[in-house]
Amino acid sequence: MAAPLLELAGVSKSFGGLVVIDNLDLVVDEREIVSVIGPNGAGKTTLFNLITGIYPPDTGEIRLDGESVVGLPPYKITRRGAARTFQTLRLFQNMSVLENVMASQYGRTKVDVVRAMLRTPAMRREERAIRTQAEEKLSFFGQRLMGYRWNQPAYSLSYANRRRLEIARAMATEPRILLLDEPAAGMNPVETHEITELIGQLRDEGGYTILLIEHDMHVVEGISDRVVALDHGIKIAEGTFDAVATDPRVVEAYLGTKATTTK
């Protein structure tokens, strides 16, 4: 059997005395959609930060496509094929929609600044390819991010469109695995339904593997091949949505134990 696309083995991370991720094992196979759920403060976003190299794990091993990425700077990890979105949107606000998606192609293009100043044929060719790629990624969202919106600054977009643009920007790095941090947060029911369908399309048509953090259980239920539940940095359940959602430890993590049991 081929190595899994993403593999975490015994990963731990603490901030001061607070253990945020505790001896976590996680495997994501190619073209799988895995959801990570858990109450606030369970360590879900920290998990993403560890995978993308924003900070290194204290112990443990993170392998992308069989090779360790521990200690690599974030931009190199992204080049190895893991791209993410942010829970709190972090677009390049003052750049246009198109430029946001063009900027994130930095890692897989080559022309240096001297050739850019001379506008050599190789530079023009690459620039055309970057632009085509950007337009293609934006067209993935139907009419949402097309036409006149290309030249609008990112800050002028509506909230839902900003979330879409973040996904498009991550797609343009040509990753193999997309890490989506609460893609449906702040969206209305119609938009949530749309983003759920879109995530399915990302896997089926785009060929991406997807690791997803989401609080909206309708989204999680609709698309997940597998669900992982975290609480206080510990994996408390893993399996199909139904199995995890009915797991007593998950219920306890979300709702607490009965008040009478403490008497």
Partner 1 sequence: MSDTPDKPDTPDVSEPPPEREAGAQIGVDSWVATEQGRRARGGPLGALARGWESTPDAAKLLVFLAAASTLPFWLNEGDLFTYGLFTLLYAILGLGLNVVVGWAGLLDLGYVAFYGIGAYGYALVSSPQYGIHWPAVVAIPAVMAATALLGLLLGFSARRLQGDYLAIVTLFFLQAFLAFTGTANPTIAGVGLTGGPNGIPNLDPLSFFGYRLTSTKQQYFFLLGVLAVVAAAFYLANLSRTGRGWRALRDDPLAAEVMSIPVDRLKQLAFVIGAATAGLCGAIFAAIEGAVVSTDFTVAVLITIYAVVILGGLGSIAGVILGAIVINVSAQFLAPQSDHPEIKRWLFYGTVLFLVVALVKPWYRAAVSLLGAVALGFCVHAIVAAAAAPSWTAGAAADAGSGSTGKAIASWVLITQGHGNFDTYVYIALVVALIVVRSVSGWWRAVALIPTLYLIPVVWENVLAPNPATTALILFGAMLVVLMTTRPQGLLGTPRVEVM
Contacting residues toward partner 1, per CB under 8 A: 52, 54, 73-75, 78-79, 83-84, 86, 89-95, 99-100, 102-109, 111-113, 116-119, 123, 126-127, 130, 143-144, 148-149, 152-153, 155-158, 161, 169-170, 173, 190
* Nearer to partner 1 among residue 94 and residue 261 (C-beta): 94
As measured in angstroms, the least distance from the Cβ of 263 to partner 1 is 48
As measured in angstroms, the least distance from the Cβ of 202 to partner 1 is 17
As measured in angstroms, the least distance from the Cβ of 108 to partner 1 is 7
As measured in angstroms, the least distance from the Cβ of 204 to partner 1 is 23
* Nearer to partner 1 among residue 118 and residue 259 (C-beta): 118
Which one, of 86, 90, 89, 103, lies nearest residue 173 by Cα? 103
* Nearer to partner 1 among residue 75 and residue 254 (C-beta): 75
Rounded CA separation 31/54 (Å): 25
Check: CB of residue 25 under 8 Å from CB of residue 10.
yes
As measured in angstroms, the least distance from the Cβ of 185 to partner 1 is 15
Which one, of 153, 156, 154, 160, lies nearest residue 182 by Cα? 160
Rounded CA separation 210/244 (Å): 19
As measured in angstroms, the least distance from the Cβ of 78 to partner 1 is 4
The amino acid present at 130, given as its one-letter code, is I
* Nearer to partner 1 among residue 39 and residue 107 (C-beta): 107
The amino acid present at 206, given as its one-letter code, is G
Give, in order, the Cα–Cα distances in Å from 117 to each of 112, 138, 198.
9, 28, 39
Three-state DSSP class for 262? helix
Crossing angle (nearest 10°) for helices 189-204 and 159-171: 10
* Nearer to partner 1 among residue 40 and residue 94 (C-beta): 94
Burial-class residue 213 by CB neighbours within 10 Å (0-12, 13-18, 19+).
buried
